[in-house]
């Protein structure tokens, strides 16, 4: 038997799961769920890391009380964002959220053409990329960089808090746009051309390797021993893909805060046609990569829920939104947004943004909650279907199926619309796919399973996987 603590940190919320391997099955039990580390300041959105660290420690405390002991700990998180550490190990500043205005400002000012950036990193051209944020910082806040000892992505900074060791996990580093896709290491060429301080970038660690042991002070305070902290696929997308059985050569759709549509491959595709089609390459487990396109996702529904709740003065649940969507879906003529519309980068009024996007698409703007949410769903499904066809054009392959995972895979209407727009057979995979993938890589690191394929078969035995009819 093996027990692993999974810390799965999304941009919207975090969760701690106790993964137990026993009798050739894997079980995940939720220990703690939390949010509130995304905060608004006068200048825009930031991340409150002290609050996040407190929640991580509370997760370890609860896990210690439930399990008694652990074989390992693993952390995955969203990509793109980074923290700067000073020479004493403290934060130089409050980390910026990727939807802060500086991201687009940095993207607009980058002196290298997108073609040159893509030829090195293979990353999708997005204004939220780390390279855009960091370039803006070199121009507008270089003093913070001068005071810094190291730059860490979000899961890496949590692992630093746990172990005291500075490392950069590969799949997370690949989201920065600063890693050479051919070497899987930091690109000195890009750093030099963009005037970025390469001294801040930490040694790259790969999935299955060990960051170090839980710090003695933390272990004693939280009732744990020197538990090894294993480097999982620290980018939550890579963890999610690790959990999916893609043996038939099918594609995947991750329906979370972002919608990610992709295809697992053995090597990155650096042909400029990939960039021109709005796709990029990201890192996976066991030396794999995936061709992927990132779109706005259920982040829009999260913002809509908050806005409608504030406007209506009454609580709004996701179940309530689903009921309203079901009613709206009975209408013959339903509107749809364009999820790639710049309106949705960080809209101050999501309701007005949805209506304006529908009007731009030549559809009648909705005014009720169900119609607004359905416009988001239909827009996402349409873009996902288009992305699937583009993958087939880029690769010369017909995808036999799509595997859906993430929170949106629980929504029957969204899944049905994705199936209709893509024309593919759809499998509903694990909802908490990134947590399952996190656990699998910990088990690989512990030697409890021997390969990614064995781990995926373990998930198939342990989770209710269903085909959409």
Q: Catalytic residues, which ones?
A: 236
Distance between CA atoms of 293 and 33, rounded to whole angstroms? 28
Sign (positive/negative) of CA torsion 256, 258, 261, 263? negative
Distance between CA atoms of 306 and 302, rounded to whole angstroms? 6
Distance between CA atoms of 5 and 26, rounded to whole angstroms? 13
DSSP conformational letter for 154: H
3-state secondary structure of 68: coil
139 CB-side CA count, 13 A: 16
Distance between CA atoms of 247 and 460, rounded to whole angstroms? 12
Enter the tokens of residue 205. Answer: 């660690």
Distance between CA atoms of 194 and 183, rounded to whole angstroms? 19
Q: How many helices (H) and strands (E) does the chain have?
A: 18, 21
Distance between CA atoms of 169 and 174, rounded to whole angstroms? 9
Rounded to the nearest 5°, which phi and psi values hold at 77?
Answer: -155, 175
Residue whose entry in the numeric block shows the structure tokens 């073609």: 115
């Amino acid at each position: 038997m093996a027990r692993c603590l999974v810390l799965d940190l999304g941009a919207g919320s975090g969760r701690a799961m106790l993964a137990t391997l026993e009798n050739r099955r894997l079980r995940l039990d939720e220990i703690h769920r939390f949010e509130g580390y995304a905060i608004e300041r006068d200048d825009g959105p930031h991340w409150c890391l002290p609050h996040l660290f407190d929640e991580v420690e509370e997760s370890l405390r609860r896990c210690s009380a439930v399990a008694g002991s652990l074989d390992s700990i693993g952390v995955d998180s969203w990509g793109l964002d980074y923290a700067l550490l000073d020479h004493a190990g403290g934060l130089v500043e409050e980390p910026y959220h990727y939807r802060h205005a500086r991201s687009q400002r940095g993207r607009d000012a980058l002196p290298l053409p997108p073609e040159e950036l893509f030829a090195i990193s293979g990353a999708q051209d997005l204004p939220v990329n780390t390279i855009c944020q960091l370039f803006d910082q070199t121009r507008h806040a270089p003093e913070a960089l001068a005071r810094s000892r190291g730059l860490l992505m979000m899961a890496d900074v949590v692992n630093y808090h746990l172990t005291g060791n500075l490392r950069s996990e590969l799949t997370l580093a690949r989201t920065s746009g600063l890693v050479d896709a051919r070497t899987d290491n930091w690109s000195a060429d890009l750093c030099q051309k963009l005037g970025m301080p390469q001294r801040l970038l930490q040694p790259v660690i790969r999935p299955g390797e060990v960051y170090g042991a839980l710090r003695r002070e933390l272990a004693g305070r939280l009732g744990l021993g020197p538990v090894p902290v294993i480097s999982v696929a620290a980018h939550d997308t890579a963890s999610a893909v690790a959990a999916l059985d893609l043996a038939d050569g099918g594609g995947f759709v991750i329906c979370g805060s972002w919608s990610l549509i992709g295809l697992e491959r053995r090597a990155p595709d650096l042909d400029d046609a990939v960039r021109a089609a709005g796709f990029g390459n990201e890192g996976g487990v066991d030396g794999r990569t995936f061709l992927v396109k990132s779109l706005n996702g259920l982040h829009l529904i999260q913002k809509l829920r908050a806005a409608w709740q504030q406007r209506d003065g009454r609580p709004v649940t996701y179940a309530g939104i689903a009921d309203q969507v079901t009613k709206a879906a009975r209408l013959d003529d339903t509107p749809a947004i364009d999820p790639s519309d710049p309106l949705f980068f960080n809209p101050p009024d999501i309701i007005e943004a949805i209506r304006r996007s529908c009007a731009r698409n030549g559809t009648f703007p909705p005014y009720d909650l169900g119609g607004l949410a359905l416009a988001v769903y239909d827009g996402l499904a349409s873009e996902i279907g288009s992305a699937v066809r583009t993958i087939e054009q880029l690769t010369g392959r017909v995808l036999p199926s799509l595997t859906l995972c993430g929170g949106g895979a629980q929504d029957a209407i969204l899944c049905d619309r994705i199936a209709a727009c893509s024309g593919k057979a759809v499998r509903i995979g694990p909802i908490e796919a990134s947590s399952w993938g996190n656990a699998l890589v910990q088990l690989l690191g512990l030697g409890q399973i021997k390969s990614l394929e064995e781990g995926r078969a373990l998930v198939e035995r342990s989770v209710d996987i269903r085909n959409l009819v």
